[in-house]
Amino acid sequence: MTAGPFYHNGPWLDHPDHRAFLATDAHRALDLFDASPRAGGGFHVLDLSGHPLPGGVEELHTTTRLVHSHALAQMAGRRDRAGIVDQGMDALWTRHRDRQHGGYLWALDAGQPVQSPKLAYGHVFVLLAASSAKMAGHPDADRLLADICEVLDRHYWDEAAGLFRDEFTRDWQAFSTYRGMNANMHGVEALLAAYEATGEAVFLTRAGRILQFFIAGQASAHGWRIPEHYDDQWRPDSDYAGNPMFRPRGTTPGHSFEMARLLLQWWDLAGRPDDQVPLQARALVYTALDDAWDATRGGLAYTLRGASVDNPARYWWPVTEAIGSLAALIKLDPQPGDEGWYRRLWTFADAHLIDHAHGGWFPELGPDDRPAMTQFAGKPDLYHALQADLLPLAAGLSRPAQALAGLRPLQNP
């Protein structure tokens, strides 16, 4: 274990050494992912040491998350040395955008479309990338933002339900009755970023409708665990099991952490209209911690059935999201236990998940606490770990890009 984020006096969020640790970890991850751009366009997936994996399919969520992450880092003071925002914005417009049918292609192989549905999950990340790029001042952001808003309005947004539909064929034919929480959760994230970027009230209103359904409606009725899967009437389907990465069976405690943080972000932006919201966020966070924390080895289980662990795999991203939600609770109204959990999560991450040799975080741990690759190849993602570093550095619960632009914590590596 290296000399990590371990301090004893006062809250860690306010401690200058902890804040320096967060900025350093962010820089090292960004440095690693600077190797992502492909010659000729698009991005590589990187191995554990940060070298491009051979071949590989370019997926929409990877491109969009790289744009968002590097735009956020740019606002926080780090120059985009590898030109990732420029290359990503070009890839979204010239490679992923479907010129024949509209919308955005989920996957490309050697620049050619891979047969796959058009997913709301990928499209809301286009909205996130466009919004973050706009806030970073990218000249093509408005073009992308206008296009993705039109696509989301035309195909995905269900005004009657106040939720996003999930999937269509490439030419926009309905082929399934599946509805899901995951795309809507990331839809909230993107809508809040779009509201921060534009000030247009429709984004904030839609985010609030989604949160109302899943938290006040569903989580409160299911022991503060959020059902993941639904039919086309928005009735929970507890037996559904789909793609093990994006639609696993059961509930996903990592998503409870994300939704809690997004709920507080929306509530703050909306003028703090309901004094029950902080209690709801806290219920989501602490139910997920109680259910999923591995008391023997540390880390968080991937999925649950009821309150019991279903898939005990320990991935990096639930830990990053738990960190973000605890940081939000501490900023708002710290209660006994919050600081201890925040410290426990960072101590575990520093010991087992952060790659101190190469930068970035290992995506999965095996039973021996060593990096494993049963679900993921290499280091597939910068976004989760970077936000675990940057969101605690931002003052307040909302407008993180604006807060980071004011502080510029990454200005001096």
**Quick check: 50 and 358 in contact, CB under 8 A?**
yes
Residue of 238, 204, 206, 208 whose CA lies nearest to 221: 238
Give 370: exposed, middle or buried? Use CB within 10 Å, 0-12, 13-18, 19+. Answer: exposed
Residue 276: CB atoms within 10 A of its CB come to 12
DSSP state, 37? Answer: B
DSSP of 76-136: TT---TT-HHHHHHHHIIIIIB-TTTSSB-SEEETTEE-S--EEHHHHHHHHHHHHHHHHT
**Quick check: 257 and 288 in contact, CB under 8 A?**
yes
Q: Look up residue 265 and give its two tokens.
A: 């972000």
Q: Of 18, 186, 255, 352, which residue is the catalytic one?
A: 255
Q: Where do we find the tokens 């008391």?
A: 295
Residue of 287, 405, 402, 268 whose CA lies nearest to 328: 268
What SS3 class is residue 310? Answer: strand
Question: Rounded CA gap, 330 and 279, in Å?
Answer: 13
Is residue 255 part of the annotated active site? The answer reads: yes
Residue count (the chain): 413
Question: Rounded CA gap, 184 and 78, in Å?
Answer: 30
**Quick check: 251 and 227 in contact, CB under 8 A?**
yes
Q: Of 27, 70, 96, 384, which residue is the catalytic one?
A: 384
Q: Look up residue 363 and give its two tokens.
A: 């995506």
What SS3 class is residue 318? Answer: helix
- 386 half-sphere exposure, CB direction, 13 A CA radius: 28
DSSP state, 378? Answer: S
Annotated catalytic residues are: 255, 384
